[in-house]
């Protein structure tokens, strides 16, 4: 059985949601962030050298990057669901969004989080960071438009990746009405609700 090493308030939430959408049986191993600094516990170092979550184990396969985990789970357990047919226009849109989530969108959000801890020392960086966050959220909002999902007419792995961006944006998301509608609709899905119930309270630190 597939095993998910789950850390609260982390990208692990997207993996649990995917498994719940697919109905794939899995073993959940929970870890809790420390206090007052919310770092991952040292026990995760025994799971993977980076000491981060999520990590999935499936037999002799171990994967630590959530984007790779989404691809692995869909290819292994999806039975054709949640991924466009390879070679199609929709497939390459899917690949672009999968890469965009962590390759472009999350960097300025993480910078905003870290620089907020520096106080006035971060002032020179703030306009640039804010501009990049707005640039990415505006791109997502316009691309989504009135659609329910980012690729095609059904949920795909792209949505599994992109919802975390919307959540990490926190109150910054509010001006982007398409993204707010999308986030709320995702949160209302039964599988998403089950993932929250199993994973525990979920509140990202955004700035």
For 165-196, how does the pLDDT look when each residue is reduced to its tens digit (9 = 90+)?
999 999 999 999 999 999 999 999 999 999 99
Distance CA 12, CA 4 (A): 8
Q: Give residue 35's pLDDT band: very low, low, confident or very high (50, 70, 90).
A: confident
CA distances 58 to 5, 98, 103, 196, Å, are 11, 22, 26, 22
Given a cut of 50, whether residue 73 has pLDDT beyond it is yes
Give the global pTM.
Answer: 0.92
State how far Cα 52 lies from the chain centre.
14
- Per the CB < 8 A criterion, the answer to whether 166 and 179 are in contact is yes
Distance CA 106, CA 194 (A): 25
Span 25-39, mean pLDDT?
88
- Of 84, 105, 106, the residue nearest 95 (C-alpha): 84
Span 121-143, mean pLDDT?
90
Distance CA 193, CA 130 (A): 31
Q: Which two tokens stand for residue 143?
A: 């691309």
Long-range contacts of 88-96 (CB under 8 A, 24+ apart): 90/151, 90/152, 93/150, 93/151, 93/158, 94/151, 94/156, 94/157, 94/158
Q: Looking at residue 206, what is its pLDDT?
A: 46
Place of tokens 């999935």: 56
Q: Looking at residue 66, what is its pLDDT?
A: 96
Distance CA 51, CA 48 (A): 5
Distance CA 120, CA 10 (A): 28
Given a cut of 50, whether residue 163 has pLDDT beyond it is yes
Lowest model confidence (mean pLDDT) among 1-5, 27-31, 117-121, 172-176: 117-121
Q: Looking at residue 72, what is its pLDDT?
A: 98
Given a cut of 60, whether residue 207 has pLDDT beyond it is no
Is cis: bond before 54, omega within 30 of 0?
Answer: yes
Q: Which residues pair with residue 7 across a beta bridge?
A: 31
Residue 26, SS3?
A: strand
Distance CA 156, CA 46 (A): 32
Distance CA 91, CA 18 (A): 18
In eight-state DSSP terms, residue 154 is S
Q: What proportion of the chain, given as a percentage, has pLDDT over 90?
A: 79
Question: Which domains, from first to last, does the chain contain?
Answer: 2-80 (3.40.30.10), 89-189 (1.20.1050.10)
């Amino acid at each position: 059985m597939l095993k998910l090493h789950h850390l609260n308030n982390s990208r692990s939430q997207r993996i649990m949601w995917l498994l719940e959408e697919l109905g794939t049986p899995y073993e959940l191993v929970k870890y809790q962030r420390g206090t007052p600094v919310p770092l991952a516990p040292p026990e995760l170092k025994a799971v993977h050298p980076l000491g981060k979550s999520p990590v999935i184990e499936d037999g002799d396969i171990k994967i630590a990057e959530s984007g790779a985990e989404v691809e692995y789970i869909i290819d292994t357990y999806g039975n054709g669901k949640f991924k466009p047919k390879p070679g199609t226009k929709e497939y390459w849109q899917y690949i672009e969004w999968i890469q965009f989530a962590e390759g472009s969108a999350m960097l300025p959000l993480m910078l905003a989080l870290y620089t907020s801890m520096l106080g006035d020392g971060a002032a020179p960086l703030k306009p640039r960071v804010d501009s990049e966050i707005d640039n990415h959220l505006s791109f997502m909002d316009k691309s989504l438009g009135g659609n329910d999902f980012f690729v095609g007419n059904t949920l795909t792995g792209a949505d599994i990746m992109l919802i975390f961006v919307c959540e990490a944006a926190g109150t910054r998301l509010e001006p982007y009405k398409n993204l707010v509608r999308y986030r709320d609709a995702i949160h209302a899905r039964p599988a998403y609700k089950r993932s929250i119930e199993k994973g525990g309270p979920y509140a990202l630190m955004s700035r």
